[in-house]
Every structure is written in structure tokens, then in C-alpha cells.
Structure 1
């Protein structure tokens, strides 16, 4: 009688079922089976078993595997990245410094402004934005000072970021973004919050800064003649289907909405960006069920139906988990 059994492995947040394990053969044979499923080379693979890790000459009779048992596998698939040709130098401090060149100009840190520096630098790498800003001409009847008119403020804001990029492109010396930082804090007062730890401004979130800048440029009508810069180059479409887990006969609902970014949820099991994105696209939510007349659990299945020209991915280290309510 065959002693072979079916077991499962868990690797990078994904479970692989129905792997064949022959307890009469050494551990190296099972590692080869795992390699064929995950792509993790045996020499870089760690298979966790009772009492430690699986070795090439492990005697399975001493491990006592059981039918349906799940083993955790650790290791990266594919070729390992090569080390850099020159040593990496880590730069300390609260700012995002960078070296000057004809294309990239270091912006001066003004105290807890690394969130803004990172955002402005990332946006500067989008060629369609540079083209739109170079031809942007606010309406001549717009005021030159900030007011209660949000659209007028957005025009001033967009003009100021265009001026910042122009100034950066004309020098290889450090370029202080004083005027842009001033109007960023005036248009969005949350970025003018003072630090509770002492003197100076508080550190802020780069994602919030990104969202506010992109929204302001959209409100200013940047690229309006071409259908709007944000909608044309930054916006995608998400199709989401909701299915009630507690009422199988309830018809699923499908909606489509515009998106400006994808989220990559990061937890202890996230090794790759695509895994974090998939985790954010498939979730369990609680909402009112029209067929049951009460709150019920739904499976939310989302997929991108149209990708934008420039895809923004937010790395989310802390996110709400409904299953544990924290």
C-alpha cells in the first residue's frame, strides 16, 4: 500500500493544495515538489516543520506528517538581485536629499518637508504633467491672491507648481521650494500643523499631499482642452462585485467607479507588491442586506477594468481589518 499523502503549503500569503509527499523519501524530494509549485529554488527554500526546518536528509518518520497538513514555506522565487556595484550610502535626517544633475535638482529641506519633496519629485517624473504645465494659462480674470473661491485657488496653486518645475529645470544648484510650500499650506491648512514635540511644523503624509496636489490641478482645469489631465492620464476604472455570503439567492451587484490609485496592503505575509494589491481588491465587508433586512457579510471582489497611463500605488502599512476590528 502506498504511503503517499496529500499536503498543502503556504507561501507568500498563498496556499497550494494537493502536493504529494512520500514519507519514505528524503526531504530533498519534497523540496523539489515545492519548487515546481512556487518557483523557490531548493537551496534558498525553508520549509518549516515540527521542531525546526526541513533538511535534505530529514527522516519523515521522525516528523510524523499527516494527510492534509499545511507547511509554511519561506523563500524568494527566481534569481536573487545582484548587489550594487558601489556601496549604498544611507542619508540620515528628516528630508529627502538628492544629488544635482541637469535633470534632477536637489530641493532644500525646510523642516519636516520630506513628504512634499517626495511627492513633487514623483509628479515631476510624469511627462504628460510637464507638457500640461508648460501650456497652462489660468484665466486672466482670476485673482492673483488666494480667496474663498476654490477654483481660483486651484489656478494659483497649479501655476505655482509649474513655476517650481521651471526653476528646478534651470539650475543644478539646490532649489528651495519656499513659494510652493507657502501656498501648499495656505490652500491645505493641515500641512501647516505645528509639531507637538517642539518647535517647527509637524511631519505629514505623502499620500495626502499627493491627493491634494492632484485634486487641485484637476480643479484648475489643467489639460481641459484634452479632456482633463487627471482623467486622461491618472484615472482608471474599477469594477466591483458584491455578493452576500449569508444569502446565496440574493443577486450580486456590480458597480464601476473612477480610481486615481491602487492600494497595496502590507502585513507580515506580504512579500510582493502584487500580493498586497490583490489583498486590497478581495475583502469582506459588512453592509445592509435588502433580502435579509439586516446587516450581513459580503464578499467584495474588485478588478481594474481600465488602467491609467500612469498608475499610482499607495503602500499601506496600517489598514483597517474588519475581521479583528482594528
Structure 2
């Protein structure tokens, strides 16, 4: 609270001018919130995120920014709008999420930063994917890649990985194979950029790429020994909360994928073990993507020879009650 009061005081003192302290405070907030977003409950950072976005917009609308400051402000407004979009998506409101993403897209174009523009296309693909609009998800991922072929940051790998997941929802196995291979090839050419330096959701580490690749195989219904091994590797990769690549949502998603590949291979007890930590997550961490992933496990438990087993029935009942909180957060 004291830190927030100090920030508000400094911003108020420079309200008639755009000084170094104002820019510095906003830059620090962007870095902090970006790093914390995938690691803490949304309720812990939402108010600060909304305030920072509002401050960035206010400073841009004031007309007092110098050209260099204007570009920096648009950069920060893009990142903050990106995170606001992700937050709305995590609360299950894809329409508000897409509106925030479009605001991020407008700001990104003002920066003339190809990586940032591509990042927003990736975000739109992600929102569409989890909203079960695979055609839109495919379109946005391809649009981002086609318009920014010279990218070398990890966003260049994220886009084909998003495309592969969308293709998997559509059952296009050939597209899944080719796009995952393209992502592997692009990984070898990565040169980390300023977005990767910010971290959080703005970078796409190798372990997250593996998680996406496994998910695309899961969506195609595959569960052979090789896929099981890769799914277990992905879960291990998200086992250390101190790792910069760790994110509670990716950890839960990787566990749901492992549960599914074990189920496909006939290992019902292994399925239960894999999904248990997800079901034990605190309600404040159960975002939309996690709930959808858990629901995929529930649906699969209702099919095939395992559906009448006691373990399968109990898990289906538990997952059916697994709902995220709907916090009264400012939109």
C-alpha cells in the first residue's frame, strides 16, 4: 500500500509534465506485473494492472509526450493491454479479452515493433483457441507469422506452436506435424529480443513449446509411449516454481495433457495421479484455460473401456464440480 501511495504521489506531482519519474514508475510497473502475471492469482495483480493501463492511456491522450516517450508509452500500453486481455480471457470473457487485444494491436502498430505486433496476433489466436474457435485461432497465428517473417525472438516459435494446436482442434494431423516441425526449426534460429527480456507471458521457452507440442498430439487422440514420455518431461519441466519459465497455468495444462495420454494408453491410475494436483489447486488459481483442460479429461473419462470404472466415475464427478471463481474484478 505504501509503495502504491508513493507511485500515485509521484504521478500526480508530474501531472502537468511527462518527466523521468513518471516514465520510470510506469516502466517498473510493466516489468513487475509482466513477471508476476503467470505466477500469482489474477486477483493479486488485477487492480495494479488496470491502474497502470489507465495511466499509460492517460499519458498518451495528454499529448505531452516527446516522440521517444510516445513510442515507449505505446510499447507499455501494448504490453498492459495484452495482459488485460489475458486477464479477461482467464476469467472466461472472450469478448472483453478480444476487445483488449484489439486495443493492444492498435498500440503495437504505433510502436512499429514487428515482434510486438506478432505477439498480439498470437494472443488473439490463444483467446480464440480456448474459446473453441479453432478456425479463428488458425487465422491469427498464420497472420502473425506471415506478416513478420524476419522475427528472431521466441514469438517466432510461439506462432507456429499456436497454429499446431489450432490445427489439432480441427483434426488436421498433417498441419500439426508440419507446423510443429517449423517451430522446431525456428527454435534453432532464435535470438532473444526485448520481449524475451521482459519474460513472463512475453517469452516462449523451450519447455512451453514442448507442452504445446504434446497438447497438439493429445488433441489428435494420440497416447503412445513416446508421447507419454514427452508429456512426463513437460510436467517435470514445470515442477520448479523458482524456474523463470514456471507458470501455474502451464503446469496445470501439462498435467492435464499427461492425464489424457495416460488414459489413451490404458493407465487409469496414472491418469488420476496426473490430474490430482490440478484438482487440488486453490480456487483463485483455476483460470479458464485450466478449467477447459480439466474438462477435456472429464470428457475423455466418459469414453472408452474405462468409463465404468469407479476411479473414472469419481474423477468425472469431481471435475464436473471444478469451477473457477468469478471475482468481482474491474473490467
**TM-score for both structures, normalised by structure 2:** 0.24
Q: Rg: which structure is higher?
A: 1
**TM-score for both structures, normalised by structure 1:** 0.24
Q: By percentage of residues, which structure has more helix?
A: 2
Q: By percentage of residues, which structure has more strand?
A: 1
